[in-house]
Amino acid sequence: MPGMVAFGRRWGIASDDLVFPGSFELFVRVLWWIGTLSLYTLHKGKFDCSGGRVLHSYLVVLLILLAFIILSLCAIVYVSAQGTITNPGPRRSIPVLVYVRAMLYVPELIWAILGAIWVSDDSQGCRPAEVGAVIAAVVASWILLLSTGVGVLFVFDPLGTTHPGSQSQELLGVRDLESSQGSQLLSTARSVAVRVWESRLRLLCCCLPRDESHRAAFSSIAQLVSGFFSDTDLVPSDIAAGLALLHQEQDKMEQCRDPDEALSHSPSSPIAEDLQAELEKAAHCMQFAVAAYDCGTSNLICKTQSAEYDIVGGDNMGCHFSSVLHSTGLQYRDFIYVSFHNQIYEIPFFVALDHKREAVLVAIRGTLSLRDLLTDLSADCENLPVEGVSGTCYAHKGMSQAASYICKKLLNDGILNQAFTIAPEYKLVITGHSLGGGTASLLAILLRSSFPTLRCYAFSPPGGLMSKALADYSKEFVVSVVLGKDLVPRLSYPNMEDLKRRILKMVSNCNKPKYRILLQGCWYELFGGEPDDFPTEMDNRRKEELNQPLLGEESLLIRSSSSYQGLASEESPVHGSHLPLFLPGRILHITEDGPSRRSCFSQVRYRVQWSSETAFRSVLISPRMMADHMPDAVLLSLRSLTQDRPFNLCPSSLSNSHLNVI
């Protein structure tokens, strides 16, 4: 539901979010009250030290104060647990209760100060238990006060209104989107949101230089994030509840779905290669994609040159090049060029001679640093014209620029020319995982005209990567490998908009209070069981409400988002920069055979089939949505398929199991 309005502004917490923090504080306060009452009862009439009379008064007032606080917390917890996410009517009194609770902080602060003064000045001669109890009370007061202050900072919404009267004006402006006043208010709100997100990014990335490329990236990411959240009025707990509901709903649908038929040939490509042959090639290339992570993130550059090889970085820079050699099975002389240089839009890669497959192999590293993350999040569309491709050509901005950077290095610095001079009969193969996989696919497109026989194996590439025209063009030479319910290949702006609307649908139609949804969702995620039988369809009245441009308690959807084009269209829209983007090439989808819930060391077998980009137009909620993206998990599944034997879900023998990358 909309954020709670109190003290003249909107907060990043709803009126039904006070159940858990209120219950925790209530538990602490009750224990504190019982302990204080026990001390007072045991020592009543025995406070015979010099400050005994003051201590007696202190404990009496503390008991009364704690009693009032406990009563206010009971009221807050009880009222906050009423209603549902979209029915806040039973919780109308929450702001008043919050004001009462806030007023009680003043005497508590005063009493904590007086307790500290008594301990330092008047506690001489008193029993150690009495002095220790007062010290514990003072410390507990300060801890709770500081915890409350930190909590207020966490739920503070910089975009919340600062004047009570301005909220109603904003509501009127947003409701009347056709009016010039409403448009001006929306434009102002968007500008403020962009500035706030830019400030957050600068604070998060304070260690990075403030050059032009970083400023442009911050601005682009801020516009993306602020635009995505601009048409909803949800707080984080609403999103968590919606994800819990959506996961159970997806599991119910999956239990009723018939298994897909595995195909031995790709249904969407003129190349009809054997599935097993492609798997073996992919498993071989995945070793190099994983090896690219072993170099670390050193930004220092040294050069070790010989007559034929150029290594940028090295063991003495903390890059552990010996680990790269071990992962790939190559020797030092097989590497033509290794770059550990890492800046925004400039990611590490290496070029090596793969004698086993007779290939000049380019392996690009995935996300392993904050700069890589900024490259990932620079998700605007950028034109990527390719000669001979009909249709609109555009791609993910960050990865397109990273591919252009590597392309210039390979061609302008003569790296590929040097490699093919040594091995002229070899073919060019490009590979990478995650960010590296997306960049590898775009690099393959850029180099295709110069190297017509090149092949690319992209592991877990992002879903929002390239336009439909480029995706179709890449089917001839790019193979994407996706494991299970991996989130990243399903990440695109349209998919996230679809996820947002599905969350809105679930939370709007669920008739259970949020605290029950979250408790049941946590139990389901940890221990499994049958999905809860939540309602899945809205009546016509609710559908009409969600389609109206309402704000606040009447609806969770402010306005219809027009920031992206429909998936069916391939043309650029007149407005907006978030165009439909797709996975590259032909897609090999690896899934686990058997039930989805197993223990960590269960024996797992995998199955693989050709898939299409339409199968990745929806984000799937699963406990393994990030675990399936890890490079060691992808490598394990490929080894399992090529060696035809099961593996443990949590292997300890893989040399790269320490990787924890995106």
Contacting residues for 551 by C-beta, under 8 A, at least 6 apart? 2, 170, 171, 174, 175, 233, 558
Among candidate residues 327, 434, 474, 622, the one labeled active-site is 434
Say if residue 114's pLDDT is above 90. no
Q: Mean pLDDT score of the chain, rounded to an integer?
A: 77
CA distance 265 to 259: 18
CA distance 93 to 100: 11
pLDDT in tens, 343-379: 889 999 999 999 999 999 999 999 988 888 888 888 8
Angle of the 514-527 helix axis to the 236-256 helix axis, nearest 10? 50
pLDDT at 197: 62
What would the DSSP string read from start to end of 247-309? HHHHHHHHHHSPPPPP-SS-TT-S----HHHHHHHHHHHHHHHHHGGGGTT-----EEE-SS-
Say if residue 221's pLDDT is above 90. no
pLDDT at 541: 45
> CA angle 485-489-491, nearest 5°?
105
* Secondary structure (H, E, C), 566-633: CCCCCCCCCCCCECCCECCCEEEEEEECCCCCCCCCCEECEEEEEECHHHHCCCCCCCCCCHHHCHHH
294 has catalytic annotation: no
pLDDT in tens, 489-504: 998 888 888 888 888 8
CA distance 548 to 507: 17
What would the DSSP string read from start to end of 123-188? -TTS-HHHHHHHHHHHHHHHHHHHHHHHHHHHH--TTS-SSHHHHHHHHHHHH-TTSHHHHHHHHH
Q: Which CATH architecture has domain 318-490+603-643?
A: 3-Layer(aba) Sandwich (3.40)
pLDDT in tens, 296-306: 544 333 333 33
pLDDT at 536: 46
Say if residue 22's pLDDT is above 60. yes
- Which of 659, 581, 646, 554 is closest to 607 using CA atoms? 646
Strands 455-459 and 427-433: parallel
**Average of pLDDT values for 523-546?**
61
Most confident of the following: 185-194, 431-440, 612-621: 431-440
Say if residue 649's pLDDT is above 90. no
- Which of 242, 167, 235 is closest to 3 using CA atoms? 235
pLDDT at 563: 40
- 167 or 235, higher pLDDT: 235
| Banded model confidence at residue 203, pLDDT cuts 50, 70, 90 | low
Q: Two tokens at 245?
A: 């509901």
pLDDT at 216: 67
pLDDT at 491: 86
CA distance 558 to 576: 18
> CA angle 510-512-516, nearest 5°?
125
pLDDT at 235: 82
486 has catalytic annotation: yes
Q: Two tokens at 176?
A: 């009347």
- 125 or 258, higher pLDDT: 125
Range with the lowest mean pLDDT among 155-164, 397-406, 529-538?
A: 529-538
pLDDT at 598: 58
- 326 or 553, higher pLDDT: 326
**Bridge partners, 346 (sequence order):** 343
Say if residue 523's pLDDT is above 70. yes
Say if residue 26's pLDDT is above 90. yes
**Average of pLDDT values for 304-313?**
40
Contacting residues for 626 by C-beta, under 8 A, at least 6 apart? 487
pLDDT at 645: 66
**Bridge partners, 232 (sequence order):** 557
**Average of pLDDT values for 205-212?**
63
| Banded model confidence at residue 330, pLDDT cuts 50, 70, 90 | confident
The ranges assigned to domains in the chain are 5-155, 318-490+603-643
Whether the Cβ atoms of residue 581 and residue 452 lie closer than 8 Å to each other: no
Among candidate residues 251, 486, 532, 632, the one labeled active-site is 486
**Average of pLDDT values for 179-187?**
54
Whether the Cβ atoms of residue 604 and residue 649 lie closer than 8 Å to each other: yes
Range with the lowest mean pLDDT among 520-529, 607-616, 645-654?
A: 645-654
What are all long-range contacts of 316-323, with beta carbons under 8 Å and residues at least 24 apart? 319/294, 319/295, 320/294, 320/295, 320/296, 321/295, 323/291, 323/294, 323/655
pLDDT at 560: 43
Contacting residues for 552 by C-beta, under 8 A, at least 6 apart? 2, 171, 233
- 416 or 294, higher pLDDT: 416
pLDDT in tens, 419-470: 999 999 999 999 999 999 999 999 999 999 999 999 999 999 999 899 999 9
Whether the Cβ atoms of residue 348 and residue 342 lie closer than 8 Å to each other: yes
pLDDT at 432: 95
**Average of pLDDT values for 322-326?**
75
Whether the Cβ atoms of residue 482 and residue 516 lie closer than 8 Å to each other: no
> CA angle 194-195-201, nearest 5°?
90
3-class DSSP state of 234: coil
pLDDT in tens, 572-595: 333 345 678 899 999 999 998 766
pLDDT at 318: 41
Return the percentage of the chain with pLDDT > 90, whole number: 33
Range with the lowest mean pLDDT among 25-39, 212-226, 497-511?
A: 212-226
3-class DSSP state of 10: strand
Q: Which one-letter amino acid corresponds to residue 192?
A: V
Contacting residues for 368 by C-beta, under 8 A, at least 6 apart? 293, 296, 297, 661
- Residue 474 CB coordination number (10 Å): 27
Contacting residues for 566 by C-beta, under 8 A, at least 6 apart? 494, 580
Whether the Cβ atoms of residue 334 and residue 352 lie closer than 8 Å to each other: yes
3-class DSSP state of 395: strand
pTM: 0.77
